[in-house]
Structure 1
Amino acid sequence: MSEADDAEATEAGDGDDAGPAPGREVWIEKYRPETLEDVYGHEQIVSRLQSYIEQDDLPHLLFAGPAGVGKTTSAVAIAKTIYGDDWRTNFLELNASDQRGIDVVRDRIKNFARSSFGGYDYRVIFLDEADSLTDDAQSALRRTMEQFSDNTRFILSCNYSSKIIDPIQSRCAVFRFSPLSDEAVAAQVRDIAADQDIEITDEGLDALVYAADGDMRRAINSLQAAATTGEVVDEETVYEITATARPEEIEAMVEDALAGDFSKSRATLDTLLTETGMAGGDIIDQLHRSVWEFDLSDREAVRLMERIGDADFRITEGANEQVQLEALLASLALANE
Structure 2
Amino acid sequence: MAELIAPMDIDGDDTNPSPLKPNNNKGKNVVVSDPVHGEATPWVEKYRPQSLDDVAAHRDIVDTIDRLTSENRLPHLLLYGPPGTGKTSTILAVARKLYGPQYRSMILELNASDDRGIDVVREQIQNFAGTQSLSFGAKPPVKLILLDEADAMTKDAQFALRRVIEKYTKSTRFSLICNHVNKIIPALQSRCTRFRFAPLDSFHVTERLKHVIEAEGLDVSESGLAAVVRLSNGDMRKALNILQSTHMASQKITEDAVYLCTGNPLPKDIEQISHWLLNESFTESFKRISDMKATKGLALVDIVREVTMFVFKIKMPADVRVLLINDLADIEYRLTFGCNDTLQLGSMIATFTKARSALVAAAK
Normalising TM by the smaller chain, what interval? 0.7 to 0.9
* 1:232 counterpart residue number: 252
How far, CA to CA, are the matches of 1:299 and 1:80 in structure 2?
53
TM-score (norm 2): 0.81
Deviates more, 1:81-90 or 1:311-320: 311-320
Within 5 Å, which residues of 2 pair with 1:178-197?
A: 178-197=198-217
| Offset of residue 66 of structure 1 | 1.0
The answer as to whether partners of 1:256 and 1:265 remain within 8 angstroms in 2 is yes
Within 5 Å, which residues of 2 pair with 1:104-123?
A: 104-119=120-135, 120-123=140-143
The answer as to whether partners of 1:145 and 1:154 remain within 8 angstroms in 2 is yes
Cα gap change, 1:203/1:112 in structure 2, threshold over 3 Å: closer, same or farther? Answer: same
Within 5 Å, which residues of 2 pair with 1:1-337?
A: 15=35, 20-21=38-39, 24-98=40-114, 101-119=117-135, 120-229=140-249, 231-263=251-283, 265-267=285-287, 269-270=289-290, 273-337=293-357
* 1:9 counterpart residue number: none
Cα gap change, 1:129/1:274 in structure 2, threshold over 3 Å: closer, same or farther? Answer: farther
Aligned AA for 1:111?
Answer: N
Cα gap change, 1:45/1:251 in structure 2, threshold over 3 Å: closer, same or farther? Answer: farther
| Offset of residue 246 of structure 1 | 2.0
Identity across matched positions, percent: 37
How far, CA to CA, are the matches of 1:96 and 1:272 in structure 2?
42
CA deviation string 1:305-335 (max 9, x = no partner)? 1111221332344422442233122221243
Cα gap change, 1:76/1:307 in structure 2, threshold over 3 Å: closer, same or farther? Answer: same
| Offset of residue 198 of structure 1 | 0.5
How far, CA to CA, are the matches of 2:95 and 2:292 in structure 1?
44
How far, CA to CA, are the matches of 2:71 and 2:112 in structure 1?
30
The answer as to whether partners of 2:113 and 2:149 remain within 8 angstroms in 1 is yes
| Offset of residue 136 of structure 1 | 2.2
Aligned AA for 1:196?
Answer: E
How far, CA to CA, are the matches of 2:192 and 2:164 in structure 1?
14
The answer as to whether partners of 2:256 and 2:266 remain within 8 angstroms in 1 is no
TM-score (norm 1): 0.87
Cα gap change, 1:225/1:150 in structure 2, threshold over 3 Å: closer, same or farther? Answer: same
Cα gap change, 1:40/1:100 in structure 2, threshold over 3 Å: closer, same or farther? Answer: closer
Counterpart of 1:144 in 2: which secondary structure? helix
Cα gap change, 1:268/1:165 in structure 2, threshold over 3 Å: closer, same or farther? Answer: farther
Cα gap change, 1:82/1:271 in structure 2, threshold over 3 Å: closer, same or farther? Answer: farther
Aligned AA for 2:272?
Answer: A
The answer as to whether partners of 2:324 and 2:351 remain within 8 angstroms in 1 is no
Name stretches of at least 5 consecutive residues in structure 1 with no aligned partner.
1-13
The answer as to whether partners of 2:84 and 2:237 remain within 8 angstroms in 1 is yes
Counterpart of 1:228 in 2: which secondary structure? helix
Deviates more, 1:94-103 or 1:62-71: 94-103
| Offset of residue 292 of structure 1 | 1.8
How far, CA to CA, are the matches of 1:32 and 1:74 in structure 2?
10
| Offset of residue 177 of structure 1 | 0.9
Cα gap change, 1:90/1:241 in structure 2, threshold over 3 Å: closer, same or farther? Answer: same
| Offset of residue 100 of structure 1 | 6.4
The answer as to whether partners of 1:260 and 1:334 remain within 8 angstroms in 2 is no
| Offset of residue 93 of structure 1 | 0.9
How far, CA to CA, are the matches of 1:75 and 1:322 in structure 2?
46
The answer as to whether partners of 2:76 and 2:191 remain within 8 angstroms in 1 is yes
How far, CA to CA, are the matches of 1:155 and 1:308 in structure 2?
38
CA deviation string 1:144-175 (max 9, x = no partner)? 21122121111111111111111111111111
How far, CA to CA, are the matches of 2:235 and 2:292 in structure 1?
22
C-alpha RMSD over aligned residues: 2.2
Q: Is the radius of gyration larger for structure 1 or structure 2?
A: 2
Aligned AA for 2:90?
Answer: S
Counterpart of 1:149 in 2: which secondary structure? coil
Cα gap change, 1:200/1:317 in structure 2, threshold over 3 Å: closer, same or farther? Answer: closer
* 2:10 counterpart residue number: none
| Offset of residue 225 of structure 1 | 1.1
